[in-house]
Amino acid sequence: MSTPHKNKTLAAFFASFFGGLGVHRFYLYGKKDIWAWVHLVLFPLSVFAGFIEALVIGLTPDEKWDALHNRDSGRQSDSGWPLAILLVLTFGGGAIAVIAAIARTFDLLFTGGAYG
């Protein structure tokens, strides 16, 4: 019996945009995955982890991805340009989020939050 094919681009998309909610973990491992529930409970803290996981998922070679997630699906992954573009956008979005968090932290520490 074949198992459903897990799309690497879709998993990276879920991690990038819904990583804080653990959607990518639910997609890959199902409802019994404890880390998916940890993402959901610790939503504000796990947003940054979602960016990192999107990059890890996207940069995993297709052969290794298939060995981990598509062993019995009967299909092979063939990631292309959509995944590359998604990874560039994810890296940029993650960098912006980190810089914004650092800027807000310095704002709170040195001005008491005078800028919002």
pLDDT in tens, the chain (116 residues): 568 999 999 999 999 999 999 999 999 999 999 999 999 999 888 888 999 999 999 999 999 999 999 998 889 999 999 999 999 999 999 999 999 999 989 989 988 877 66
Record the tokens describing residue 43, joined without a space: 């939503």
Q: State pTM to two decimals.
A: 0.88
Place of tokens 């960098």: 95
> Does residue 22 contact residue 46 with C-beta atoms inside 8 Å?
yes
Place of tokens 């008491």: 112
- pLDDT at residue 6 in the model: 95
- pLDDT at residue 99 in the model: 96
The phi, psi pair for 78, rounded to 5°, reads: -140, 80
- pLDDT at residue 45 in the model: 84
For 70-81, the DSSP string reads -TTSS------H
